[in-house]
Amino acid sequence: MQPPLVHLVGAGPGDPDLLTLRAARLLQLADVLVHDRLVGQGVLELANPRARRIDVGKAAGRHAMAQQQINELLVELAAPDRVVVRLKGGDPFVFGRGGEEAVHLLRHGIRVEVVPGITAALGCAASVGIPLTHRGLARSVRFVTGHCRGDEALELDWEGLADPETTLVVYMGTAQIGEIADRLIGHGLSPTTPVAVISDGCSPAQRVVRCALDGVAAVPTGGRPTLYVIGRVVDVVDHEAELVGVLPIDPRLFEVAGHG
């Protein structure tokens, strides 16, 4: 008999239409569903109605369950005759601590299947018409997290991140975005660098605010999950529209498949 198996599944950025077919099938087969706070309600509604559901979501200052407890829970739930789905917002291996969970399971002799999901950077940028790379403007893209552990300082490669030809995407950065902006400007990035502040991305409540880097700290988010896209690509659609003599393009015209 093979060892038990746990599926680490990416739920994507919120819209159920952005799930992979593999993820949707596993949700329908699940006996146990261990899910995060940022998983969209529409995604959860696709799950087997008889599945046991365990919410282990984390929010700033509030953890339903600590990470080590989640790791141990997955080990306890794993069984040869049980379909265990660990459902994580976005992609399990992009700031989702999926690697920690996979390693813990493997150390206990439990097999792991990882089902990738569309990470927030890709889904949110697409939904408002921002190409993360664009010839002549951005040769590379970098994903960073603004989350700090405890009282630790936010230590990032500021010199590398301040490259004007790199698109920077900041996850979990609301509490630190003022410091992030100051450090980037201090390392040479122009204060007028465009920024897109995308809250509740890929959901009916999605909201996008475009601003300059030196004003990003003043943009209210209302405590909603927020992603920051920093770089010249933020304005590329409007810029190209101006070059061909048409009106600037309203980002609300953009859709992610199934989401408007």
Active site residues: 36, 58, 172
Q: Are 15 and 109 in contact (CB under 8 A)?
A: no
Backbone angles phi, psi at 141, to 5 degrees: -135, 140
Say which residues have a Cβ less than 8 Å from residue 106's Cβ, sequence separation at least 6. 112
Q: Are 221 and 199 in contact (CB under 8 A)?
A: yes
| CA distances, 141 to each of 164, 169, 213 (Å) | 11, 8, 17
Say which residues have a Cβ less than 8 Å from residue 232's Cβ, sequence separation at least 6. 134, 137, 138, 164, 193, 194
Polymer length of the chain: 260
